Amino acid sequence: MAENTYLIRGAAILGGDAEDLLIRDGVIEARGKDLAAEGATVIDAAGLVALPGMVDVHTHLREPGREDAETVETGTRAAALGGFTAVHAMANSNPVADTAGVVEQVHSLGRASGWVDVRPVGAVTVGLAGERLAELGAMADSRAQVRMFSDDGICVHDPVLMRRALEYVKAFDGVVAQHAQEPRLTAGAQMNEGTVSAVLGLTGWPAVAEESIIARDVLLAQHVGSRLHVCHVSTAGSVEIVRWAKARGINVTAEVTPHHLLLTDELVRSYDPVYKVNPPLRTDADVQALREGLADGTIDVVGTDHAPHPSEHKECEWAQAAMGMTGLETALSVVQETMIETGLMTWADFARVTSFTPAVIGRVADQGRPLEVGEPANVILVDPAARWTVDPHKMATMGRNSPFKGKELPGSVVATFFKGHPTVLDGKLNTPYRYPAVSSING
């Protein structure tokens, strides 16, 4: 049997015509009908959709320092099962990823795990404190080659500091990913400000707290001529501001999470902290606006904002509970339900918002590539007809805080090929990719 050679038979490429894909030594060697390759491992993909591996611009892997919530190993296992071949690991670890040393550690942990490509996100400010810029240039020049910077979880609320960050990253084609939350408008906030918060007596989180920061930052990006990315857009007003900015040629991109495409603040009536998240679940009108914004390209990508927490941080009173939800292993299914099965998008559109565009935003050259001859073989096979019920205790992530627990979702990842190696087969973890040994200068 030829090692590292796989023949995928009869997959619907991006949901279109059924074709074969021949993968050899990490590259798509051939694509077409009735392909043959002596000794190749044959995978029957009839009825399956072939897509480029998904790229997540927004993942919390927690390591270093918060291994009680997640590790790079467990988080990337979850990512592979979810159909991802690359994830961007947010900076709010402990220590914070605000130096070349920490981002290189995260990068090395990702390579050692071998399940997906781990791209560290560098902090914008030292310690996420919002007082002075972190070592942006050093992180960009490190072995991790950081191109995305974010204080996610905390807004860079100082406009002067935000301007300086946007100016700085221009030098190496970087992007600042902003967590849009005006802190003075959200002090003590527990959920979306609206009818439900008034009934429950919980301090509200107004939409304007998000929208005002986005409005300010798109103008700063225009002034500086730099790239801005808006994390987890959650309101109808935010969609309109991004649409306005793009119409004027401002270099802004935006993401939406799967949970904001499906869930609303009505769920908070249960007082179940699994529904506590930042930004909060919004209204049905916001959900519909987010879906429309993703469909028409105003929102560029889906980012999971995978945020695992130890059980004790979620199984407590609402006010004391941590904010965040897991998302890597449910993202594909939720997007299929909200966007594809509603007719708003096709599988080709899905590839655009989960793979092609995220790779461009993160400047990940060998990810998010077309399924064409000569391209890196980062490929997933999806069964769109499958149905499964979410059980957090059966997931690879350490986090049990899935808001979709007990819900039946469509679609499942049957196989994930990372650099031509099957990390997932038959819907189960196979083996990780092993990077070639690096020879020393002295041999």
Q: Which residues are catalytic?
A: 305
Nearest by Cα to 78 from 108, 49, 118: 118
State yes or no: cis peptide before 120, omega within 30 of 0.
no
Binding site per annotation, positions: 58, 60-62, 92, 152, 179, 232, 278, 305, 309
Positive or negative torsion for Cα 37, 43, 48, 52: negative
Positive or negative torsion for Cα 103, 104, 108, 111: positive
* Six-digit token string for 49: 């959709």
Burial code of 371-392, b = ≥16 C-beta within 10 A, e = fewer? beeeebbbbbbbbbebebebeb
- Which amino acid, residue 83? G
For 251: left if phi > 0, alpha if psi spans -120 to 50, otherwise beta; the answer is beta
Residue with tokens 């690991």: 89
Distances (CA, A) of 295 to 231, 258, 345: 17, 13, 6
Measured distance CA(305)–CA(396) in Å, rounded: 16
Size of the chain, expressed as the number of residues it contains = 443
Binding site per annotation, positions for Zn(2+): 58, 60, 152, 179, 232, 305
Q: Are 40 and 22 in contact (CB under 8 A)?
A: yes
* Six-digit token string for 55: 């790229």
Binding site per annotation, positions for substrate: 60-62, 92, 278, 309
Collect all residues with Cβ–Cβ distance below 8 Å to 145 and sequence separation of at least 6: none
From first CA to last CA, the distance across the chain in angstroms is 32
DSSP-based helix, strand, coil % in the chain, nearest 5? 35, 25, 45
Measured distance CA(79)–CA(74) in Å, rounded: 9
Measured distance CA(370)–CA(375) in Å, rounded: 7
